[in-house]
Chains A and B, each alone.
Chain A
Amino acid sequence: MSVMTRDIHEQAAVPQPTQHGKPGGFLRHTNIFTGVITGLVLAIITYAIGSKLVPWGTQNATFQQVGYQALIAATYVAWVIGFMAGIGAFAGPIRWVLGHDLTHADAEYMAGKGQGKFRYWKYTTDHKVVGIQYLIMTLVLFGLGGFLAMLIRTELGITWAEVFTPNFYNSMIGTHGIVMIIAMIIVISGPLGNFIMPLMIGARDMAFPRLNALSFWLLFAAVPPLVSNLLLGGIRDGWTVYEPLGSQSPVGMIGYQICIIVFAFSTGIASVNLITTAFTMRARGMSWNRVPIFVVGILSAAIMGLVWFPMFQYSQILALSDRMLATSFFNPLMGGSVWLYENLFWLLGHPEVYVVIIPGTAALIELMTVFLRKPLFSYKMAIAGFVGVTGISSIVWVHHMYMTGWAPSAGYPFMLSTELISIPFGFLVLVMLGTMWRGKPWTRLPMMAVYAVIWNKIIGGITGVYLSDVPVDQYMHGSMFVVAHFHFMLMGAGLFAAIGAIAYWFPKMTGRMLNERIASIGFWVAFFAFQLTFMSMFVAGLQGMPRRVLQFDNAFNVSNWLSTIGAYCIGIGMVIFLFAVITSWRNGKPAPANPWGAKTLEWQTSTPVPLENFPVLPVVTSDPYGYGVPDPYDSVEKKMAEADQPVGAGAR
């Protein structure tokens, strides 16, 4: 799109408040290490003092020591508060309350000016830094989740023995699930929503830079409580941690609950930031019909997350309350209902899967235009697709509860809404196929990911059609068929899309070109292994294998052996891809500003991107899809039509 220049503000000329101390104030002394130390120290102190005060003897419905639960919960909370204090998160609010407002120099310090690589270890507000921080965190979470997946498949592959105890196995699948879900929620909105989106709309930063840093470090603080669950007896209840089974787990469950409560705040804040940025910080001239479609996808996911995450958060708050305060929200003996838990959970649980898949789809749609050198096919249908999915996603959640017996007649309306949502989702597929139609593909890795993802979407989609039918779900629910279906959607269409998106924006984010030969080898090994793993899993499900079991009838042995072999190969492929990422990042070829010849704004600024993003803010005069040449068939049609017309007829 064409870009005109506009003068930047003379920021130094604005009257400044009093500079309190050196620029950055308290944040000059804080970083991840001070955060971790403060968090640990506060947690240890809390545990030490608390264990002297805890009232032993009060028992809850499952005869667990309520006092001890409270102590562990307090310790986790102390970790979170201590960490946030130690990294300097409270400095901003305290300064605001006291009226010590930030100066321009403060803001520049907080954005990382003059700190070199150290700014990645601190409470830095620059959206590019936060984006990289999210990227690293995502890779770590995938590594952890992937490692657990290898252990799980080992157990399922060794069909003649129990490798792990049942309780540990149940904890592993639960931890694998929630770690992967968290990683998938953030994989595109975190690194790319933060780093790329402001650039793409021609802004200098996000709407709320300090909240940006806050959302990342809250996520960082939330992860140790979750992971520590494996050391404290585990979450023996799957990633959905249904009550009342959850209350039978030892104190490790509290780590899960605290993690989700904190993560919900992190996601909520991030959503507020993304939505406000997209609405209020677009460059001049970027009206809503010129916005890159990636922004629309990020916006949709952020809206769904913002609106529904508190439901999940409250399901965990109330479960924690049942555990610690002996309330009875989910304890049927004392008036609670398991269905309340399931509803609260799935009210987020369903929009969440769209939060996972929509950003990846939007990223692929965006990059397809670049690699086919074709305009986006039917921008309006793409918008309609995102809007439709966002809206209808709120009214389909009961399809996860068809078999609960909660409301047997609810099967009818929710089957209707579930089928209905396939229509706007289909619009997105239309846009992808239509863009691909008659386009000449430049078969680099980001484009190849599109093919892989559409294939996986087809399989995931048809199996989703089966599951949406209540009678068929009567057979399939709770079996490995469901597990294979959601892996095809969340991993097959979600993760592989994320890999494509990261490969696409890698040059802009890291300043280097990704070693595509090695990355592609890893990608395709993982892709074909993925087919083996999860197609065999469909078979296991069809044969009647339930999910979340570590031992099973011999009838399912072959499917599980094949899945395990496939899973190991996925692991190998992913490691190869990671190797490509790491080596390219460290000493890959330096990337030019616009290696793909793309027209969106982020590629019109230099690489590495300067602190202020654009020397002058761009002004936009058209959408970013001005690729391609006039359709040769159009002129053929024209000639043939004109040949039929009388002499002198108006030109078309």
Chain B
Amino acid sequence: MSLTNAPEVDQPEEPTNRPAPSYRIREWLSRPYARHFLVLFIIFTVVIMPAAWLVLHFMNQSGAPASAIMTDIETTIFVFTFVSAPLMAVALAILMYSLLGRDWGGRVHGEEPPMQESPAIRTNSLGVILWITATSLLAGFLVIWGLVELASITAGSYGSVPTNQQPSAVKPIDINVTGAQWVWNFQYPDQQGLQSDTLVVPNNTPLYFNVTSVDVIHSFWVVELGIKIDANPGAVTNIGVTPNKLGTFNIRCAELCGMHHAYMQTKIQVVSQADFDNWVRVMGGAKTS
């Protein structure tokens, strides 16, 4: 029994009268739909996560990853799928419960508008704040991960700094790539201007591509190594990568460039240093070192 005089009009409750916070959570959890929703949420989160493996399975069917950049890309996809799974699961759980659940009243079908039975909830501050927080955290995580990753692969692939200004233990191989309708031409300036239409490169050696076009926009895509840069007429663009797997991989044009765009493909062969030197000699250029 209290001796305080109660106020006549609505006022904030005094602290001693406010129910404990855990009471509200317990009360919410006591509602059947809340427990069902949480269960669905957990199930969907768990079910979505393996999609990450599925995505990578398809990407690796032709031999990827063949470089650190490609591995980086795959890790990113993996992580992004995992962190996005909870929010996707929330949406899916609500969709499913709305259609199939019972505690919200179940579905109505019929010609006439149904009776008004849904609760007139206009807002729920906690729900809104939780959502904004979760989506902002997710977006923030994705952005920071992306920015850091972009910086690292740019550093690892030499970004837009010319080759002769790179600090590097191993000297990168400069390759000039020219896209023309509808062939790729590769020229190795350090190997006495050796020209080729397939790309042969030594394993574990940094490569630095200077790419241009002599007619329309093409796009130089070394598929399993995970690099791509447009070949623009009137400009030179650059990208670098270090292959780390032996084998033959695909180079495809990734920007519509006319009639035979579909056929503008060639191969990249990642070989051992010795094989590369042999190839250079056979093609008429000098040894690299």
Contact = CB atoms under 8 A, between A and B. Distances in A.
* Touch test A–B (CB under 8 Å): yes
Interface stretch (B92-100, B166-174, B192-200, B280-288): B92-100
Contacts of A338: 217, 232-235
Interface string B35-64: 000000000000000000001001101100
A454 interface: yes
B2 interface: yes
- Residue of B69, B70, B110, B142 contacting most chain A CB atoms (<10 Å): B142
A630 B128 contact: no
Contact of A378 (B91, B99, B120, B122): B122
Interface residues of B, number: 111
A372 B160 contact: no
- Residue of B128, B217, B230, B250 contacting most chain A CB atoms (<10 Å): B230
B94 A433 contact: yes
A555 B61 contact: yes
B276 interface: no
A415 B147 contact: yes
B184 to A, nearest CB: 14
B228 A474 contact: yes
Nearest to A444: B109
Contacts of B119: 374, 438, 628-634
Contacts of A455: 92, 95
B29 interface: no
A336 B234 contact: yes
Interface string B138-155: 011011011101100110
B252 interface: yes
Given A378-B122, A434-B127, A474-B227, 20 more contacts: A242-B216, A244-B216, A372-B118, A377-B122, A378-B123, A403-B254, A426-B131, A433-B90, A442-B108, A458-B91, A469-B145, A470-B146, A542-B55, A542-B58, A546-B221, A628-B120, A637-B27, A644-B17, A646-B2, A647-B2
Contacts of A458: 88, 91-92
A437 B121 contact: yes
Contacts of B99: 441, 443, 451
B159 A475 contact: no
Interface of B: 1-2, 4-11, 13, 17, 19, 23, 27, 31, 33, 55, 58-59, 61-62, 69-70, 72-73, 76-77, 80-81, 84, 88, 90-92, 94-95, 98-99, 104-110, 112-124, 127-128, 131-132, 135-136, 139-140, 142-143, 145-147, 149-150, 153-154, 159-160, 211, 215-217, 219, 221, 223-224, 226-230, 232-235, 237-239, 250, 252-263
B108 A472 contact: no
Interface string A411-432: 1100110011011001101100
B98 A542 contact: no
Contacts of A633: 31, 119
Contacts of B58: 539, 542-543
B233 A244 contact: yes
Contacts of A462: 80-81, 84, 88
Given A438-B118, A631-B120, A245 B257 contact: yes
A632 B119 CA distance: 7
B154 to A, nearest CB: 7
A422 B139 contact: yes
B258 A245 contact: yes
A474 B235 CA distance: 19
Interface residues of A, number: 111
A548 B2 CA distance: 79
B116 A627 contact: yes
Contacts of B229: 403, 405
Nearest to A540: B58
B142 A649 contact: no
Contact of B4 (A595, A636, A646): A646
B226 A650 contact: no
A652 interface: yes
Interface in A13-47: none
A68 to B, nearest CB: 21
29 contacts: A166-B262, A170-B261, A242-B255, A244-B216, A245-B258, A248-B216, A404-B230, A405-B211, A412-B150, A416-B143, A420-B139, A429-B91, A433-B91, A434-B128, A458-B91, A462-B81, A465-B80, A469-B145, A477-B219, A477-B228, A546-B221, A546-B261, A547-B256, A548-B262, A629-B117, A632-B119, A644-B17, A646-B4, A650-B8
A55 to B, nearest CB: 27
A135 B64 CA distance: 48
B52 to A, nearest CB: 10
Given A415-B146, A434-B127, A475-B73, A423 B139 contact: yes
Contacts of B13: 645, 649
Contact of B95 (A333, A408, A451): A451
A633 B31 CA distance: 9
